[in-house]
């Protein structure tokens, strides 16, 4: 399958201090696996502290990189296994040449948020701890602006790996199966705020075959009933439509029900069309849901159409690479 129509330009990579302190290994793993490939194709912008952390990660010695499991990715990038510190120079050079930085702290986040508003970013990788959802306005602003302007955004490592794979070129970087083969991966959750329900239904109609290829589709109450009606109107059989399971509505606890399914490992892909222009009476449930997704550590999480589109395209590419076997 051809890659999505992504404009070669700029990406943002930002990690909050709390994420760097608690999950440095995850940030390092992402840098080793993808940053060389991304930096060859994009200008990757970061805030000052994230830039410094990346410098430290790629500046590790050869023995340290070997211990971290990075050498297989570096060998893939360079086409030869690095054996000396000098062999690492070209790898480091590509990454640091493709990386640029904004100021430290709030002013740097504002700079990247402004790039989103001006639509000068093709995607955002924003690694943050679940606690940052309530305590860091900058994190909320980046997420909000990405959703307002429908820019792909990854808020966790699982989603970041899938999006990075889509940004990296013509051939998938991740293994063919890529973690999409289990029963949990055959389950999809679709949720939307009231102001985004029509947008979600339009998205579902446009991607009906990809959506209905899942074995189970979880949804909050109103959204689920709408999706069922649209699928029936498109001619899907009752047995197929029955895969769509509406829970309670969001204000009545549907977000909590699906969050539990996510935390228990029963669902690993979530499309949640958030309305960034409207405050919600059950905002505490929504934040709990997002926290559950991020804390689970292995859930793909799309909060707007462009991110969801890339995740579905990645899943379709996996199935095609596997010969279309479900």
- Tell me which H or E stretch contains 19: helix 17-22
Give strand ranges (E) for 160-223: 187-192, 216-219
Distance CA 1, CA 305 (A): 19
Contacts 24+ apart (CB under 8 A), 15-20: 15/50, 15/53, 15/126, 15/127, 15/128, 16/127, 16/128, 16/129, 16/132, 16/136, 16/139, 17/49, 18/128, 18/129, 18/131, 18/132, 19/127, 19/128, 19/129, 19/132, 20/49, 20/50, 20/53
- Sequence-ordered list of residues with C-beta below 8 angstroms from that of 222, at least 6 positions apart, any chain: 194, 197, 246, 249, 250
| CA-wise closest residue to 57 among 46, 47, 68, 48 | 68
∠ CA 134-136-137, rounded to 5°? 95
Max Cα–Cα distance, the chain, nearest Å = 63
Between helix 254-263 and helix 283-296 the angle, nearest 10°, is 10
Would residue 215 show up in a list of annotated catalytic residues for this protein?
no
- Which of 77, 129, 255, 285 is labelled catalytic? 255
Collapsed DSSP state (helix, strand, coil) of residue 192:
strand
Tokens 């109609």 sit at which residue? 205
Tokens standing for residue 103: 């100021």
Which positions are annotated as active-site residues?
255
């Amino acid at each position: 399958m051809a890659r999505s129509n992504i404009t070669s330009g700029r990406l943002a990579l930002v990690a909050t201090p709390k994420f760097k302190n608690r999950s440095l290994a995850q940030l390092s793993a992402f840098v080793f696996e993808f940053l060389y490939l991304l930096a060859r194709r994009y200008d990757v912008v970061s805030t000052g502290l994230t830039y410094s952390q990346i410098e430290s990660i790629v500046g590790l010695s050869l023995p340290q990189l070997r211990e971290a499991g990075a050498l297989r990715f570096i060998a893939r990038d360079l086409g030869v296994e690095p054996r000396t510190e000098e062999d690492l120079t070209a790898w480091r050079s590509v990454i640091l040449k493709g990386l640029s930085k904004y100021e430290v702290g709030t002013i740097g986040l504002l700079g990247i948020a402004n790039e989103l508003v001006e639509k000068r970013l093709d995607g955002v990788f924003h690694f943050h701890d679940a606690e940052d959802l309530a305590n860091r306005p900058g994190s909320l602003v980046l997420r909000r602006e990405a959703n307002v302007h429908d820019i792909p955004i990854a808020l966790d490592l699982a989603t970041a790996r899938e999006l990075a794979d889509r940004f990296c070129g013509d051939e998938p970087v991740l293994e063919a199966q890529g973690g999409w083969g289990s029963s949990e991966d055959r389950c999809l959750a679709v949720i939307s705020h009231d102001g985004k329900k029509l947008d979600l239904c339009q998205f579902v109609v446009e991607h009906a075959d990809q959506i209905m290829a899942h074995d189970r589709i979880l949804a909050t109450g109103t959204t689920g009933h709408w999706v069922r009606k649209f699928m029936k109107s498109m001619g899907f059989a009752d047995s197929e439509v029955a895969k769509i399971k509406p829970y309670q509505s969001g204000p009545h606890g549907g977000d909590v029900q699906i969050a539990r399914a996510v935390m228990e490992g029963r669902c690993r892909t979530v499309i949640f069309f958030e309305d960034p222009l409207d405050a919600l009476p059950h905002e505490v449930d929504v934040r709990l849901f997002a926290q559950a997704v991020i804390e689970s550590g292995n859930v793909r999480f799309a909060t707007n159409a462009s991110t969801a589109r890339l995740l579905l395209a990645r899943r379709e590419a996996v199935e095609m690479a596997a010969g279309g076997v479900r």
